[in-house]
């Protein structure tokens, strides 16, 4: 007996489990990095105003991407997701967990990376997020609450 009905958007338990596994893999990678390079894990370089501006830029783009992706989840007949972690038709719950975890992970990783790696990481992720948001905008996705 099925405890839920698959509505064509994927089974919630399977999708959620896949998301949790990716979060655990990311967490283990961070722990491995900290153990492999302990001199980098103490955030020896102080956090600067420029770091804050870059982090705010990323988090803003990340929030816009979240809102666009939530629209994708709400309209599977019209759009599909290209992020392999979320799957083609993610549930809204998976979108929330994915973007919340990504926001926290980005801040933590940025804090613990020393310069110049911190700047490189922030600029690269800002660029990637900008590309995603711009692509979503070009296919008609707008930001709405």
pTM (predicted TM-score): 0.72
What is residue 142's predicted lDDT score, i.e. its pLDDT? Answer: 85
Residue 72 lies in a domain: yes
R_g of the chain computed on alpha carbons: 17
What is residue 5's predicted lDDT score, i.e. its pLDDT? Answer: 37
Distance (Å, rounded) from C-alpha 110 to C-alpha 121? 7
Over residues 9-67, the pLDDT tens digits come to: 544 456 666 666 676 677 667 666 666 666 555 556 899 999 999 999 999 999 999 99
Distance (Å, rounded) from C-alpha 57 to C-alpha 62? 9
Residue 41 lies in a domain: yes
Residue 86 lies in a domain: yes
Distance (Å, rounded) from C-alpha 45 to C-alpha 23? 27
Over residues 119-136, the pLDDT tens digits come to: 999 999 999 999 999 999
What is residue 37's predicted lDDT score, i.e. its pLDDT? Answer: 65
How many domains does the chain fold into?
A: 1
Over residues 78-124, the pLDDT tens digits come to: 999 998 889 999 999 999 999 999 999 999 999 988 888 999 999 99
What is residue 34's predicted lDDT score, i.e. its pLDDT? Answer: 64
Distance (Å, rounded) from C-alpha 143 to C-alpha 140? 10
Residue 5 lies in a domain: no
Distance (Å, rounded) from C-alpha 27 to C-alpha 45? 22
Residue 1 lies in a domain: no
What is residue 43's predicted lDDT score, i.e. its pLDDT? Answer: 52
Residue 143 lies in a domain: no
Please give the structure tokens belonging to residue 32: 């491995």
Q: In this model, does residue 1 exceed pLDDT 50?
A: no
Domain of 24 in residue numbering reads as 12-138
Under DSSP, the state recorded for 76 is T
Residue 3 lies in a domain: no
Residue 83 lies in a domain: yes
């Amino acid at each position: 007996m099925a405890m839920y009905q698959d509505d064509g958007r994927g089974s919630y338990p399977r999708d959620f489990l896949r998301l949790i596994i990716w979060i655990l893999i990311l967490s283990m990678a961070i722990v491995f990095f900290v153990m492999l390079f302990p001199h980098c894990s103490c955030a020896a370089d102080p956090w600067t105003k420029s770091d804050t501006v870059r982090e705010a830029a990323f988090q803003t783009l990340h929030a816009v991407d979240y809102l666009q992706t939530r629209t994708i989840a709400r309209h599977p007949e019209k759009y599909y997701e290209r992020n392999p972690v979320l799957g083609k038709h993610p549930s809204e719950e998976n979108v929330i967990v994915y973007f919340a975890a990504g926001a926290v992970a980005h801040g933590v990783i940025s804090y613990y990376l020393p310069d110049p790696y911190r700047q490189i990481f922030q600029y690269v992720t800002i660029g990637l997020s900008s590309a995603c948001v711009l692509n979503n905008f070009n296919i008609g996705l707008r930001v709405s609450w």
